Amino acid sequence: MKEQVIALKNEALESIKNITHSKDLEDIRIKYLGKKGELTSILKQLGTLSADERPVVGGMVNEIKNEIENIINETLKKLVNKELNEKLVNEKIDITLDGRKTHSGVKHPLRIVLDEIEEVFLGLGFDIAEGPEIESDYYNFKAMNFEDDHPARDAQDTLYVNKEVLFRTHTSPVQARTMKLKCPDPIRVICPGRVFRRDAIDPTHSPQFHQIEGLVVDKNVKFSDLIGTLELFAKRMFGDNMKIRLRPSFFPFTEPSVEVDVSCIFCGGKGCSFCKQSGWLEILGAGSVHPNVLRMGGYDPDIYSGFAFGMGLERITELIYQINDIRYFFENDIRFLHQFK
Ligand code: PHE
């Protein structure tokens, strides 16, 4: 009977080894350990053995039963674990959607150039001042010494909200606002911002564009200070070889007034198609602050003097990046904008 028990044990262990599914283990358990199982039936036959053999074989059978039981349990654990892992892998559902592609923005070319201009003037001790885009007739025209019948006040040239309120036509009203705010302190500011004029859109015109105003008011400010400031600005922006040239001009709010040119950044002043063979490019208007403007701002023109200038941001950006159509700045064409990465 001992041989029979050992053969059973080996048979059981062998078949456990070959099992690949946990549910088949149960069959083995029943086959060997169940109430009608093979080892159990051996226990039932113990009565046929001699009194000496009975405890030996009985003990042996019980030991083997325990051993098989343990192996079955261990194998069960392993198989259940393995089956769970397989299940997790096979039944995995992909709940992710392809993410939406994000496009990182880039600085607008006008912003890039404005940053550079601000950097130059901040370095010279200027502050930055801003004013509203919707402005009163007072600040836009009257405080800037425009005659009541000045042609710029015509409805054809200016976008009005009503008789007293308009879309500012230049950044010069920020001069008047700053004087009112600061008087009698000295002033050194630049005022960047959007301005509007009643204009059709073509390569060189747009009903909206940007200017950067400059204003200095103090005791003893001379015209030569204006020249020195603009010369330095031109060199910082366009290179150390830059020269500036002044031509007489007229603005109601400056006296004397000038148009300021820089040497052509494409030909260096020799003359090319870009500067129409002149060697010069016009970049801004400027002049000494008109006594009337100082007076309306609260400054006594016998004690204070100053200079002002105004430049077009689109114009300067066009020169730097060789852009030949102002419409590119406002059409938001990604193909244009992404060139400034
Ligand atoms: N405001 C003027 C313009 O729009 C520019 C300017 C500003 C000229 C300051 C002189 C001084 O054309």
Greatest pairwise CA separation for the chain in angstroms: 140
What is the CA(87)–ligand 1 centre distance, in A? 77
What is the CA(270)–ligand 1 centre distance, in A? 28
Q: Amino acid identity of 341?
A: K
Q: Which residue has the higher pLDDT, 269 or 194?
A: 194
pLDDT mean over 236-244: 93
Question: CA–CA separation, 142 vs 130, rounded Å?
Answer: 19
Average pLDDT, the chain: 92
- Determine the atom of ligand 1 nearest the C-alpha atom of 285: 8
pLDDT score of 208 more than 80 = yes
The stretches of the chain forming alpha helices (DSSP H) are: 2-18, 22-33, 38-44, 53-90, 109-123, 137-140, 173-182, 223-238, 291-296, 313-321, 334-337
pLDDT score of 105 more than 90 = no
Q: Name the pTM for this structure.
A: 0.71
pLDDT score of 1 more than 80 = no
Q: What pLDDT score was predicted for residue 282?
A: 94
Are residues 197 and 314 in contact, defined by beta-carbon separation less than 8 angstroms? no
Question: CA–CA separation, 316 vs 323, rounded Å?
Answer: 10
What does the radius of gyration of the chain's CA atoms come to, in whole angstroms?
A: 46
Are residues 6 and 13 in contact, defined by beta-carbon separation less than 8 angstroms? no
Residue nearest to atom 8 of ligand 1 (CA): 285
Q: Which of 211, 230, 247 to mutate to test the pocket of ligand 1 (most atoms within 8 A of CB)?
A: 211
CB burial string 226-251: b at 16+ within 10 A, e below: bbebbebbbbbbbeeebebbbeeeeb
